[in-house]
Structure 1
């Protein structure tokens, strides 16, 4: 069957599947919940069709095995028939639909006949409750009969075609849910861009009959990232051996992901259910490719006890720093970095593509700063790509893709590429939740080519930096005060309340008028001693304070200890990239505007940030005043005409 024919068959099948909603679900369930009923039945029918040819033989074989433990039966069936799952019930959908009695009970019995290694799919789908809802509405028989007539056999719909059908049905279902879909469904245009960039440097190593690749997603959702990556690799080499691994917490998303992989010939255990932050179900394993779209702003306070315990172990995934419990994105980023295969002599290593919002780029809390520093020090950040806003179903905020690599190509070592893809999009004809924009193939190719061009890419959308460019020193910059010594009655009045100040001191103060202010710590005690008066340190400081008069012609002021006196209201912090010479930076950025500014490098604080928007910011040239004035005059004239018309009508 040709590709257009396959696409047509997939589209038609998906449409027929979805017709269930209009025919049998309307007025029974909420429209946004249609998918919760249609998707499980689609999976059930596909599994049934996959097992149909060998079901009778498998049932006899399993019966003959008697009371063997389930996992041993699974191994035996796999060895004998090449099946990773099976069903030993004498029923099927057509048999159940042939009569309209006991449909609910028969369907539950049929589901119970599946091998234990896929039983969790039906639990995740909450299938028992869905069936009960349809049965109580007297619609279950009609739904079962409808699906029993659909030919979802692998001979008609190959794995990829069935994947397209499931994808289409999922899209329709999530389109009803709108914004809520964002919790477990990543837009395919975003995934395709991530995958394209992820595998583009591996073209040469993916060839050959013995090519092997592993793909992992710690927040697998509906499994889309794993499947899109697998499909891309097989387009490059149809003989490549790809193994998928995933972990997902949400039961509904886990059920979808596991089912989607299963109906396309995947392993039943490819996706495991569990909390990635609490327990890494693939501990000790690393992978060639890691993809993840972790939840933005996920509060991990409920998980902090096990996370903090793991963080105490040196070199562990969370040992590099812990972000605020209000946002766990950087925990997932650190986790993904740890799951990458280490660099090998043949040039291979692990690569990751991780979605985030802007917070991990510049959050100044200690935890995120430490995690970024670790990524920079280890030279793990290969590129960061800014996506258009309004790209995801659950949020319209700016998003970014971090590309991590444990074994960069020689020309990319010690460098980080920033790619601004925020302008590469087309508006969607029909928004879906918060998603109003999509990246078509042409948009994605612009960014892919920029990545490939690296240092030769268009600087309007691509910049190549070094890790040091993102590390900085926050240097305190101040302007040193300049004081002349001035006697005044106001100064005397301020000192009268002091016990160590006497009337006799007034004559001394008057004699010091006009002397160098910086010399007061010496001149005042000396004059006091000569007059037989005391001048304790507290009084010296008080005299310096009240007799200080700002004078730009005076020398820079220093206090009694010889330390610079900072001018009131003039103390700033200058952020200087670690890659820049401090003196040169100050000469260029500070001294032209404050010639007498000074700084203290010893008090500088180190940090890091990736100021993506600032790097690509291009100031817009203001409109000419004459043009603005012309428009104002035009508006004034129009208003005058309107007032005139109103007056004439009166």
Structure 2
């Protein structure tokens, strides 16, 4: 086998994966290879990172005696500048040198790691997986294999090791297919989010004392945190970046914490816990927040805790609660609540949060209330539509919400929509539902559109006010046009009234064809002339019974002068809050239904972000002559084929 130290990053990853694959075949399911390979990759990297100081650290820790573990961690970090350590005399090479008590030795070695990273091995379910290999007589071979791979920092820098780890994760998730989407966000999507997030911060990121905090409440494998950190350090290599994350799933937590560790991160950068139930960073806010929360995930198991939190005024969930069938808007509200407030020096917090289409327009009370809060507080800076088939677990349309507590002056009171659905290239080899990727050239188009703001190409960018997304659903009725018609069936209806007498029939006949609007006057007058009474109840009943729709008649009004609505005709007109209602009716309704009137007093207020409708561009139909010519050609071809069949 070629020495890994001389191999490229990609080759190293292939060696890690392919060689280990030989030992796992027929022992574990192929889709579970990554569950075994990733923990051993992490173990080997950590071992190589600690090798140069291990002997000294072991002696130093032994000399500390019974000091509490957390104080030992502090002492070791202060003395050796390492955030974790291992005090076991064993390593993989030593364990592999003999084939006796391999499983026991490996467990003793793992137990030798400092307590602040012990949860990684629990999350990986390492002991159980080691037992599976041991029971199949493969554990020794796997340990021996990994002990020969050089993953030392001197051979692979943190960024290069990160690339190896990413490559191995890609291979693992490719076998898991859709399941990868539960905790892994594609790097191309993350890079776009980060590029947009930091694009306006060039000046404030300069200098030797620049500080930034980055938080991900659904940290998964930690990719968003690492990509953001790398981008910031490219802009300023001296910047002090602190990462914070929280993740619920044990396997994802293990991957995330390990990935950050092998790239030089803090052992406590990611914490394990349910973000909806308990915010482990309560009271803290951050400069940047990134999140790809689960789509359409039921949160009924957390409902009691969430509802209790929502009762606290001003809390993260106090603005509204979505249906328990989909909790992604809870995460959106949470991310908004974790942003650093605007400050006088121009800084504030910015977030990039992935969602499907539902949070844009879900009309339930909870989502509507959350959107209203975001709109009213001017927290939405931009929303970007991503190409479909971008994520491992779903091919549905996805969007990135950019939130900002301190927008640039020209962006205040405005929201930019960017259509990135056409910015993609096909993946050479699909991974789960991911069939497309955004290359750098695609991301640059969207970043430039964001920077251009109101001067961007309107084909992919629109700038609107928050009020443009708020609306009134106004009931619209059609005013009836009624003529007076005498009908026997109308008389039969009126005979059911005690105050209607036979003498009224002749009165009704005399009024046939007269103006319906005049009946409140003409009917009582004619009845009086015939010596009959005409109470108001009879007048109303007569108007109702003798009114017959007639497009040539004047618009109908009742005896009080109020418009009479056409029976069975009603629509609801959605009017943007930024539109004057009278002008909207004049422009959008009356040209098509001149007799329509609206009732603003019964309007229902709401909001939506109709992204697709805003960017809809109707296509001009093909010329009829072109279609006829194509049909004629097809008919001729069919005729030729029929002749060949009949002649044959």
Above 0.5 in TM-score?
yes
Whole-Å separation in 2 of the counterparts to 1:497 and 1:645: 78
Cα offsets for 1:448-476 (capped at 9, x unmatched): 11111111111110111111111112222
Q: Distance in 2 between matches of 1:382 and 1:343?
A: 14
| 1:286-435 alignment runs, 5 A limit | 286-435=285-434
* Residue matched to 1:9: 8
SS in 2 for 1:206: coil
Could you tell me how far 1:168 is from its partner in structure 2?
0.8
Counterpart contact for 1:483–1:556, Cα < 8 Å? yes
Q: Could you report, residue by residue, the CA deviation over 1:37-67 in whole angstroms, capped at 9, with x for unpaired residues?
A: 0000000111111111111121122222222
CA shift, 1:415, in A, is: 0.9
The answer to whether the 8 Å contact 1:7/1:161 transfers is: no
The equivalent residue for 1:225 is 224
Over residues 615-642 of structure 1, what are the superposed CA-to-partner deviations in whole Å (9 max), with x where a residue is unaligned?
1110000001111111111111111112
Are 1:477 and 1:574, in contact at CA under 8 Å, matched by a contact in 2? yes
The 5-angstrom pairing of residues 152-551 of structure 1 reads 152-525=151-524, 527-528=526-527, 533=532, 535=534, 538-551=537-550
Matched with 1:112 is 111
Segment of structure 1 superposing worse, 310-319 or 591-600:
591-600
* 1:26 matched residue in structure 2: 25
Alpha-carbon deviations, 1:79-107, whole Å to 9, x = none? 22222111111111111111111111111
Q: Which blocks of at least 5 consecutive residues in structure 2 are unaligned?
A: none
How many residue pairs get matched? Answer: 645
- Structure 1: distance between partners of 2:508 and 2:52: 110
TM-score by length of 2: 0.97
- Aligned-residue offset at 1:181: 0.4
Distance 2:292 2:143 in 1: 35
CA distance in 2, matches of 1:8, 1:529: 111
Per the TM alignment, residue 301 of structure 1 is displaced from its structure 2 partner at its CA by 1.1
Deviation at 1:499, TM superposition (A): 4.3
Structure 2 Cα separation of the partners of residues 63 and 538 of structure 1: 102
> Contact 2:224–2:290 at 8 Å: present in 1 too?
yes
**1:20·1:143 contact (CA, 8 Å) conserved in 2?**
no
Are residues 77 and 542 of structure 1, via their aligned partners in 2, closer, same or farther at CA, if it must alter by over 3 Å? same
- Asked whether the equivalents of residues 89 and 109 of structure 1 are also in contact (C-alpha less than 8 Å), the reply is yes
CA contact (8 A) 1:55 1:86 kept: yes
SS at 1:201 equivalent: coil
CA distance in 1: counterparts of 2:422 and 2:540, whole angstroms: 60
Secondary structure, aligned partner of 1:384: strand
2:589 maps to what in 1? 590
Tell me if 1:85 matches 2:60.
Answer: no
Cα distance change of structure 1 residues 6 and 481 upon mapping to structure 2, 3 Å threshold:
farther
Distance 1:424 1:600 in 2: 44
Q: Summarize deviations over 1:129-162 as a string: whole Å, max 9, x none.
A: 1101101111000000011111111111111111
Q: Aligned partners of 2:500 and 2:104: how far apart in 1?
A: 101
Structure 1 range deviating more: 515-524 or 453-462: 515-524
- SS across alignment from 2:355: strand
Tell me what 2:49 maps to. 50
Counterpart secondary structure, 2:305: helix
Q: Give distance in 2, aligned partners of 1:102 and 1:562.
A: 99
| Partner Cα separation in structure 1 for residue 434 and residue 558 of structure 2 | 61
Inter-partner Cα distance in structure 2 for 1:167 and 1:254 = 15
Q: Is the 8 A contact 1:6 1:161 kept in 2?
A: no
Q: 1:532 to 1:111 in 2, by over 3 A?
A: farther
Look up the match of 1:39. 38
1:528 is displaced (CA, Å) by 4.6
Encode CA deviations 1:417-471: one digit per residue, 9 max, x unaligned.
1100000000111100000000000011010111111111111101111111111
CA drift at 1:346:
1.2
Identify which range, 90-99 or 57-66, moves more after superposition: 57-66
Instruction: Determine the C-alpha separation between the residues in 1 that align with 2:608 and 2:232.
Output: 34
Q: Which residue of 1 aligns with 2:602?
A: 603
Q: Distance in 1 between matches of 2:392 and 2:175?
A: 12
Are 1:343 and 1:350, in contact at CA under 8 Å, matched by a contact in 2?
yes
Cα distance change on mapping 1:346 and 1:100 into 2, 3 Å? same
**1:314 Cα offset (Å):** 1.0
Report the Cα distance in structure 1 between the residues aligned to 2:344 and 2:221, rounded to whole angstroms: 35
Contact kept, 8 Å, 1:480 with 1:557, in 2: the verdict is yes
* Cα drift, residue 573 of structure 1: 1.6
Tell me the distance in 2 between the aligned counterparts of 1:554 and 1:367. Answer: 47
Per-residue CA deviations over 1:341-365 (Å, capped at 9, x if unaligned) read 0111111110000000111111111
Q: Secondary structure at the match of 1:572?
A: strand
255-264 or 633-642, which deviates more: 633-642
TM-score normalized with structure 1 length: 0.96
CA–CA separation in structure 1 for the residues paired with 2:77 and 2:11: 33
Contact 2:5 2:150 in 1 (8 A): no
Per-residue deviation, 1:253:
0.3
Alpha-carbon deviation of 1:537? Answer: 5.2
Partners of 1:425 and 1:439 within 8 A in 2: yes
Cα 1:436–1:647, aligned 2, differ >3 Å: closer, same or farther? same
- Does the residue aligned with 1:204 lie in a helix, a strand or coil? coil
Moved over 6 A (4+): none
Tell which deviates more after alignment, 202-211 or 19-28.
19-28
Assess, with a 3 A threshold, how the Cα gap between structure 1 residues 625 and 569 changes in structure 2: closer, same or farther.
Answer: farther
Q: Which runs of 5+ in 1 are unaligned?
A: none
Q: Tell me, yes or no, if the aligned pair for 2:21 and 2:33 is still in contact at 8 Å.
A: no
Whether the aligned pair in 1 keeps the contact of 2:556 and 2:564 (CA below 8 Å) is yes
Q: Distance in 2 between matches of 1:301 and 1:120?
A: 27
Q: How far apart, CA to CA, are the structure 2 residues paired with 1:150 and 1:124?
A: 24
- Counterpart of 1:581 in structure 2 is 580
Cα offset, 1:241, TM superposition: 0.4
